[in-house]
Amino acid sequence: MENSITAETRQIIQQHLSLFLKQDLEALMKLYSEETVIVGYGKTYHGLKEIRTLMNECLKEWFGGDGVYSFDVTFEAFNGHHGYIEIKGSNHVHTIVFGNSDYYVANGKILYEAAGRYAVPKGQD
């Protein structure tokens, strides 16, 4: 049986994915804190201002143009404060052959995320 810390981590990460797909930036930002660090896409983002900019860019990328064609979580694992997901998907810009995020969650907030992806331009997949 899952302990309460693992259950909270699972719930926060699944909420994060749900809010992202709903394009709810304000609710999404409530899952982060000023201490949050996100590493990915060639940069490190610190605090709410930089993370808001990143999330806004990600939402525009995913839902601009014709929008998301597909977004699937293909694997997930949770253990205590740590969570990990793998995704695949496509939108009007590219196909994500493989994407992943590693999370550290505590006290109802995502405090650390490391994200990466292998994507190819649409039409070259």
d(CA 30, CA 125): 35
Looking at residues 35-46, what average pLDDT do you find? Answer: 95
Question: Which domains does the chain possess?
Answer: 4-121 (3.10.450.50)
pLDDT recorded at residue 59: 87
- Tell me the two tokens of residue 50: 């930089």
Question: What is the DSSP code (8-state) at residue 91?
Answer: E
The tens digit of pLDDT for each residue in 68-96 reads 678 899 999 999 999 999 999 888 888 88
For the question of whether the overall pTM of this predicted structure is more than 0.75, the answer is yes
